[in-house]
Amino acid sequence: MHKQKYNIGFVSTRFAGTDGVSLEAAKWGEVLKEEGHKCFWYAGLLETPKEESFCIPEAYFAHPDNEWINRHIWGKVKRSPKVTRRIYDLSEYLKKTLYEFVENFQIDILIIQNALAIPMHLPLGVAITSFLAETCIPAIAHHHDFYWERDRFQVNCVPDLLDMAFPPRDVQLQHVVINQSAREQLALRKGVPSILVPNVLDFDNPPPEEPHPWAKDLRQDLGLSPEDKLILQPTRVVPRKGIEHSINLIHRLNDPQCKLVVSHPAGDEGSEYQYQLQELAKSMGVEIIFFGDRVNYRRRISCAGKKIYILSDIYQQADLVVYPSIYEGFGNALLEAFYFKKPIVINSYPVWVRDIAPKGFWVPTMHGIVTNDLVEEVKILLSNETYRQELVNFNYALAQRYYSYKTLRYSLSTLLNNITHQLS
């Protein structure tokens, strides 16, 4: 990486919890710090070190001001002057705080994490776009998922602002995407080039073989007996994650000791889906355990006196990972299963088909339905230790080759070298 050291400011609506953007941003920060750069964090919700953080509550997508705006722009085709004024008022305030952030920490380069891709916080995107235009500060926009990939953003009354800021056409801004389709769509829709940087994990440093002592009560807290099989779905409870396929698979396994554990909460799309899943599981005789309120980014005791675990605690004790998503920007759970050497069953989502499967991974795959062949293969994976070890070791070695930190280090070096040339 380039010898010059920079103060780098990460900007998003949140850096907290176990969502893909927060996790991936933390990996970027880790690699940049290893290279001697300093990292600072701007968001509305932060779990980063206090001395490196600049928390502006209004920048969080769930802030009441932003939620009011969202209610008046999505699913609507006309906006009132009042809505326009509210958007710009909040945007101007946030832009002022971006100036403060850059000045306080003497920021040289900004890395915008998804805030210019998906408009969960429209005023923040507008604020960042104006700030970049006014300052010409070198910046990298890391796009995880675009608004045109999500149904709920299709009908709206803000096409002018989406065109301006999601993402902007800014000559100083380098764009990074996480899959090939996004790269093509960004070029087609916005006429801007981008660099493809896949999600990564530190495969050169494998996890400890034994579970952490903190997690000794995990199975008991899940309500599992020593004989039960922990089938993990490490996703949020939203419809595109396809949890009904996992319920169907476990039903078809016809083994009462197979228990489905969902590790993340419902997120920002309501609880109706979770209720429907509970009804479906009950009708199929499948035990489903929603454990999202007990999993976070650090181990601790909650206010209610219960242990809070981290995601790796559950991975290490899982017997099988299920990942039947219909759509994913990349698929962090896939890499995590490879990293923790767990067999994984997936649905053939587009990025898997196009970007990941051609690398040659050995993964039982459903194509929208649970077939008899898939059920039989999963039974073998759960019962045949030799077969399972051969599969997970093969996938680990391949993932280490394509999705390790050295891949990220090379990409970040390229991006920073481009900026050095800009500044010289």
Tokens of 387: 């077969």
Q: Is 109 left (phi over 0), alpha (psi -120 to 50) or beta?
A: beta
Q: Coil, helix or strand for 173?
A: strand
Residue 423 has pLDDT above 70, yes or no: no
What would the mean pLDDT of 31-57 be, rounded to a whole number? 96
With tokens 């990293």, the residue in question is 339
Q: Which residues of 51-72 are buried (b: 16+ CB within 10 A; e: fewer)?
A: ebbbbbebbbbebebbeebbeb
pLDDT tens-digit map of 218-232:
999 999 999 999 999
Region 385-402: what's the mean pLDDT? 97
**Rounded CA separation 34/410 (Å):** 13
Residue 112 — φ and ψ, nearest 5°? -95, 120
Confirm if 32 and 24 have CB atoms less than 8 A apart: no
Q: How open is the CA angle 298-403-10, to the nearest 5 degrees?
A: 55
Judging by DSSP bridges, how do beta strands 288-290 and 307-308 pair with one another? unpaired
Q: What is the pLDDT of residue 410?
A: 94
Helix axes 272-284, 243-253, angle to 10 degrees: 10
Contact 235, 291 (CB under 8 A): no
Q: pLDDT digits over 347-389, tens only? A: 999 999 999 999 999 999 999 999 999 999 999 999 999 999 9
d(CA 307, CA 65): 33
Predicted pLDDT of residue 141: 98
Give the pLDDT confidence of 127-171 residue by residue, as tens digits.
999 999 999 999 999 999 999 998 899 999 999 999 999 999 998
Residue found by looking up tokens 């000559």 in the block: 171
Strand partners, 295: 309
Contact between residue 264 and residue 294 where contact means Cβ atoms under 8 Å apart: no
Backbone φ, ψ for residue 398 (5° rounding): -70, -40
Residue with token string 């920021």 = 107
Q: How far apart are CA 72 and CA 390, in angstroms?
A: 53
Contact in structure between 246 and 233 (CB atoms under 8 Å): yes
User: How far is 336 from 321, CA to CA, in rounded Å?
Assistant: 10
The average pLDDT across 13-20 equals: 87
Highest mean pLDDT among 104-118, 227-241, 321-335 belongs to 104-118
Average pLDDT over residues 285-295: 93
| Cα–Cα distance measured from residue 47 to residue 17, given in angstroms and rounded to the nearest whole number | 8
Per-residue confidence band for 305, with pLDDT thresholds at 50, 70 and 90: very high
State mean pLDDT over 229-236: 95
The number of residues making up the chain comes to 424
Name residue, tokens 């587009």: 350
Strands 300-301 and 195-196: unpaired
pLDDT(104) > 70: yes
- Can you tell me the distance from the alpha carbon of 227 to that of 88, in angstroms, rounded to the nearest whole number? 58
Tokens of 319: 């017997």
How far apart are alpha carbons 181 and 354 in whole angstroms? 8
The pLDDT confidence band at residue 297, using thresholds 50, 70 and 90, is confident
Cross-strand bridge partners of residue 173: 139
Q: Which residues contact 334 (CB under 8 A, 6 or more apart)?
A: 323, 344, 346, 352, 356, 363
For 257-289, what is each residue's pLDDT tens digit?
999 999 988 765 668 899 999 999 999 999 999
Q: What pLDDT score does 271 carry?
A: 82
**175-225 confidence digits (pLDDT tens):** 999 999 999 999 999 999 999 999 999 999 999 988 899 999 999 999 999
Task: Give the pLDDT confidence score for residue 267 in this predicted structure.
Answer: 64
Q: How far apart are CA 12 and CA 98, in angstroms?
A: 11
pLDDT attached to residue 35: 94
User: How far apart (Å, rounded) are the C-alpha atoms in residues 406 and 132?
Assistant: 30
Q: What is the 3-state secondary structure (H, E, C) of 278-306?
A: HHHHHHHCCCEEECHHHECCCCEECCCCC
Cβ pair 12, 115 in contact under 8 A = yes
Query: Domains plus CATH for the chain?
Result: 7-200+405-423 (3.40.50.2000), 213-402 (3.40.50.2000)
Mean per-residue pLDDT, 225-248: 94
3-class state of residue 416 by DSSP: helix
Residue labelled with tokens 């996790």: 23
Q: What is the pTM of this model?
A: 0.89
* Bond into 256 cis (ω within 30): no
Q: What is the pLDDT of residue 364?
A: 97
**Least-confidence region, from 45-59, 303-317, 318-332, 409-423:** 409-423
